[in-house]
């Protein structure tokens, strides 16, 4: 089956691991209802649910591109990088993910210690570590919600970000570098796409400047998630210009984390035609 211009796509979706809330069957059903022909599962720092979603999506005629979203550092700032593609002989990605998990656990520990220092009554860090197999600052945010400092984990994040702890504690200095992640991606035949370059989270994540984008391109960045719910038309035009100048891939995604967060979005396939053609020629039969 070829991807047609009339198909809709969403290349940035999260399931029920690493902070996502979508049950796998529920996500596939929603994608089918939205008329999506191609989706990508891009959970944070894991590809655990990709194959299951592929199997569930097949009867609906939905293609699932394997993906993953990494937490990384570049030039002293915190970024998300989307990797696409699945190499069953992958030797380089698992060790990288282990290091990312360790850096995320350290960040969570530092944030937890600082919240205690500021008077927040939180459980011991060992209890937070026990919440799930890999520890993240999201677990501290959830602990804030559990202690009723916040209505939910997202509101807990807002408390942490409002304190600018990402920068106050210099968390990027402990993180895996984007350069290393891109090198690993290319060793395993994966494409590296900068997630939501125009999204800003005050105190945690910033909009990518043209100079920062050029620096990322110099270390091998393959593309930009140009179409994203919060991107303005001006931002999209700017990213399109950079992409044309450097021959980058374009992608589009909703970044949906669950039914109560943001639903998958049916982006027209033509917006990321070259990206889709790449996978048809190189991955899909």
Rounded to an integer, what is the distance from CA 67 to the centroid of its chain?
9
Question: Is residue 284 pLDDT above 60, yes or no?
Answer: no
Identify the weakest region by mean pLDDT among 1-15, 129-143, 244-258.
1-15
Backbone angles phi, psi at 17, to 5 degrees: -120, 160
CA 52/CA 195 separation, integer angstroms = 24
pLDDT of 95 reads: 95
Summarised one tens digit per residue, pLDDT across range 216-244 is 999 999 999 999 999 999 999 999 999 99
The stretch 49-78 carries a mean pLDDT of 96
pLDDT of 18 reads: 75
User: What is the DSSP code string of 208-241?
Assistant: PPHHHHHHHHHTT--EEEEE-TT--HHHHHHHHH
pLDDT of 178 reads: 98
pLDDT band at residue 131, thresholds of 50, 70 and 90? confident
pLDDT of 127 reads: 96
Question: Is residue 31 pLDDT above 90, yes or no?
Answer: yes
pLDDT band at residue 281, thresholds of 50, 70 and 90? low
Per DSSP, the three-state class of 262 is: strand
Summarised one tens digit per residue, pLDDT across range 147-205 is 999 999 889 999 999 999 999 999 999 999 999 999 999 999 999 999 999 999 989 99
Return the percentage of the chain with pLDDT > 70, whole number: 95
The stretch 259-284 carries a mean pLDDT of 88
Question: Is residue 2 pLDDT above 70, yes or no?
Answer: no
pLDDT of 260 reads: 86
On average, the pLDDT of the chain sits at 93
pLDDT of 87 reads: 66
Total residues belonging to the chain: 285
CA 175/CA 191 separation, integer angstroms = 21
pLDDT of 88 reads: 61
pLDDT of 6 reads: 63
- Residue in the structure block whose two tokens are 């990384």: 72
- Cα torsion through 78, 268, 21, 57, rounded to 10: -130
Summarised one tens digit per residue, pLDDT across range 87-99 is 666 789 999 999 9
pLDDT of 20 reads: 78
């Amino acid at each position: 089956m070829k991807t047609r211009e009339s198909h809709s796509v969403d290349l940035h979706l999260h399931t029920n691991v690493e902070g996502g809330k979508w049950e796998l069957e529920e996500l596939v059903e929603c994608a089918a209802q939205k008329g999506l022909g191609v989706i990508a599962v891009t959970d944070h720092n894991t590809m655990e649910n990709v194959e299951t979603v592929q199997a569930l999506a097949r009867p609906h005629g939905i293609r699932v591109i394997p993906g993953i979203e990494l937490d990384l550092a570049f030039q002293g700032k915190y970024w998300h990088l989307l990797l696409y593609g699945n190499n069953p002989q992958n030797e380089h990605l698992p060790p990288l993910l282990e290091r990312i998990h360790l850096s995320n656990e350290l960040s969570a520990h530092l944030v937890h210690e600082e919240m205690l220092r500021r008077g927040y009554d939180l459980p011991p860090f060992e209890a937070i570590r026990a919440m799930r197999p890999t520890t993240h600052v999201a677990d501290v945010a959830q602990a804030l919600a559990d202690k009723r400092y916040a209505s939910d984990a997202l509101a807990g994040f807002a408390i942490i970000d409002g304190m600018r702890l990402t920068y106050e504690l210099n968390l990027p200095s402990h993180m895996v570098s984007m350069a290393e992640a891109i090198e690993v991606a290319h060793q395993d035949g994966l494409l590296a796409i900068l997630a939501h370059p125009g999204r800003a989270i005050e105190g945690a994540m910033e909009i990518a400047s043209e100079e920062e984008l050029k620096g990322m391109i110099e270390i091998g960045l393959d593309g930009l998630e140009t179409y994203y719910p919060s991107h303005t038309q001006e931002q999209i035009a700017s990213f399109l210009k950079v992409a044309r100048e450097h021959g980058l891939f374009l992608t589009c995604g909703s970044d949906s984390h669950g039914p109560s967060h943001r639903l998958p979005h049916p982006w027209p396939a033509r917006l990321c035609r070259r990206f889709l053609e790449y996978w048809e020629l190189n991955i899909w039969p």
